[in-house]
Structure 1
Amino acid sequence: MTSSVPTLNRIRVGSAPDSWGVWFPDDPQQVPWQRFLDEVAGAGYEWIELGPYGYLPSDPARLTEETSRRGLKVSAGTVFTGLHHGPAVWEKTWAHVSDIAALTRAMGAEHLVVIPSFWRDDKTGRVLEDSTLTPAQWRDLAAQTERLGREVRERHGLKIVVHPHADTHIDSEENVSRFLDATDPDLVSLCLDTGHYAYCGGDSVKLIETYGERIGYLHLKQVDPEILAEVVADEVPFGPAVGRGVMCEPPAGVPALEPVLAAAQALDVELFAIVEQDMYPCPPDKPFPIAQRTRGFLRSCGA
């Protein structure tokens, strides 16, 4: 008798410090990095992301020792950018990117997740700039992201994957499509975060089927539709929305991950699928049982 569960043999599953409530390099509300590494390995994951630069040891030799003895490997680093501000922010951007890219490469990873800057503060909700870009800002965003993709590839041998994110300018289906249409596929790929895309009204399966060649990386996440409806109605910023529990444990939320994984497998390319359940801040004993259950759920999906 054969199993009905598909084998997702092109999907490499991992998790990230984010799933342990880690948003900052150093914060008393976060678990120590040693505990994160112990627990992510204990939950059955082999791949991790670096998380906020400075949370994990930034010395490659030490980090290699700490990860390898736990059977862990690094899939990507993460950087934050405000490239719609144009060439004026390039030097500041590169100063932030270069150290993280160097560590990412030293750890054997091939991807750099690029998160656009927030238009409102994720803690206070204070509006920092207009939520809509001007045509000139769109042109700057596209040109500077292509420049980042070229520089990161030439200097560090990494591929950038841009992460559509709530409360940024690359968020909805319309804006994600506009961004992809404006950028060179050879230089710019997408990190599709299923939770953020659903948060902003998008359909992950449709995006994968429409822009398959641009999908370079996945973040697996779900939103609670009832809490999301409240958050949207009340115009709650992303940080406080996470505090309300808008990002929930799979398979309780949307989108359903089975069809997303099936669509990703059908692309016939190797893809990382990194679990990220935003939970900042959270009690220190909360993440590990969730991580174990989530890993079990993904195994039941064939991943």
Structure 2
Amino acid sequence: MDRPTPLDRIRVGSAPDSWGVWFPDDPRQVPWERFLDEVRQAGYEWIELGPYGYLPTDPARLTEEVAARGLKVSAGTVFTSLHRGPAGWEETWAHVSQVAALTRAVGAGHLVVIPSFWRDDRTAEILEPPELTTEQWAHLTKGMERLGHEVREAYGLELVVHPHADTHIDTEAHVGRFLDSTDSALVNLCLDTGHYAYCGGDSVRLIETYGERIGYLHLKQVDPDVLAEVVADGVPFGPAVQRGVMCEPPTGVPELGPVLEAAQKLGVELFAIVEQDMYPCEPDAPLPVATRTRRFLRSCGA
């Protein structure tokens, strides 16, 4: 059997999301100590911070807890509503600066930005139209450029925007419009393979088309049969996850081997962080899945 080509530019990690963590505090989620213990046990060296407040927010304590387990942090995550215009900048910056300061303090170099949802991910309530106006697109793109500049100047972090189901940056058309309307020197993309497939996109084609804009990867897969039901029934993202729309690799789409190979060909170092959407889940469920996923990624050369 031929050995896979080593993907020596891909740095694999995992995230609290793969342990069913979506919120800073929720009784259905595993305690943060267990997450840190198990993510290392599963074979990962890199983690993300997850929702701000889940892991300790004191930089000294977080640094100590992470280092004690031989782990390193790749990124923090923030949520923004920049399409609403500059009136909300102060509120956005207060949230971003809090997360960015902790992210920088623990030695990470990226800040993942997720746009706000147009549909409530629990109740399916339509919060805003799914399509932005021309003015809102201008607010979104200029706001992200401003955020990228400010985050780099203040914290030395690189901004990567995460296309996400039920947000305004989701489909191939929306992602292309966003990238074509923003400056690569200020903002790039966190390509989430699962969300992009969920919204009908082709991750390999995106990497090959916009390679210079791919600054970070999230790895997950979609069950195409469940996805077809979700789309047909108009199910929002949260309940779709509970139906199992995001499935354990390598049982879904896209194939992760070709995605990782396309990323390797870019010739730059990239984080590839596993995000196995599992909220809510039984506390004993994540570790076996994470362990098998790490074994699978090694079989791909990562």
State the Cα deviation string for residues 51-87 of structure 1 (Å, max 9, x = none): 0000000011101110111000000000000000010
Q: Which residue of 2 aligns with 1:51?
A: 50
Q: Structure 1: 5+ residue runs without aligned partners?
A: none
Q: Which residue of 1 aligns with 2:235?
A: 236
Amino acid at match of 1:210: T
Q: Which residue of 1 aligns with 2:298?
A: 299
1:203 aligns with 2:172: no
1:61 aligns with 2:55: no
State the Cα deviation string for residues 77-100 of structure 1 (Å, max 9, x = none): 000000000101100100100010
Q: Which residue of 2 aligns with 1:172?
A: 171
Q: Which residue of 2 aligns with 1:267?
A: 266
Q: Tell me the SS of whatever aligns to 2:44.
A: coil
Aligned-partner Cα distance in 2 for 1:266–1:209? 9
Amino acid at match of 1:96: H
Amino acid at match of 1:92: E
Q: Which residue of 2 aligns with 1:226?
A: 225
User: For residues 71-220 of structure 1, what are the structure 2 equivalents within 5 Å?
Assistant: 71-220=70-219
Q: Which residue of 1 aligns with 2:289?
A: 290
Q: Tell me the SS of whatever aligns to 2:23.
A: coil
Q: Tell me the SS of whatever aligns to 1:217.
A: strand
Aligned-partner Cα distance in 1 for 2:239–2:183? 35
Aligned-partner Cα distance in 1 for 2:243–2:217? 24
Aligned-partner Cα distance in 1 for 2:271–2:290? 17
Aligned-partner Cα distance in 2 for 1:31–1:123? 20
Aligned-partner Cα distance in 1 for 2:50–2:39? 13
> So what's the TM-score if we normalise by structure 1?
0.99
Amino acid at match of 1:10: R
Q: What displacement does 1:4 show?
A: 3.0
Q: What displacement does 1:28 show?
A: 0.3
Q: Tell me the SS of whatever aligns to 2:184.
A: coil
State the Cα deviation string for residues 87-140 of structure 1 (Å, max 9, x = none): 011001001000100000011110000000000111111110100000000000
Q: Which 4+ runs in 1 deviate beyond 4 A?
A: none
Aligned-partner Cα distance in 1 for 2:210–2:232? 30
Q: What displacement does 1:210 show?
A: 0.2
Q: Which residue of 2 aligns with 1:7?
A: 6
* Percent identical: 77
Aligned-partner Cα distance in 2 for 1:89–1:83? 7
Aligned-partner Cα distance in 2 for 1:3–1:216? 30
Q: Structure 2: 5+ residue runs without aligned partners?
A: none
Q: Tell me the SS of whatever aligns to 2:217.
A: strand
- What count of residue pairs does the alignment treat as equivalent? 302
Q: What displacement does 1:3 show?
A: 4.1
Amino acid at match of 1:242: V
Query: How large is the RMSD of aligned CA atoms in angstroms?
Result: 0.7
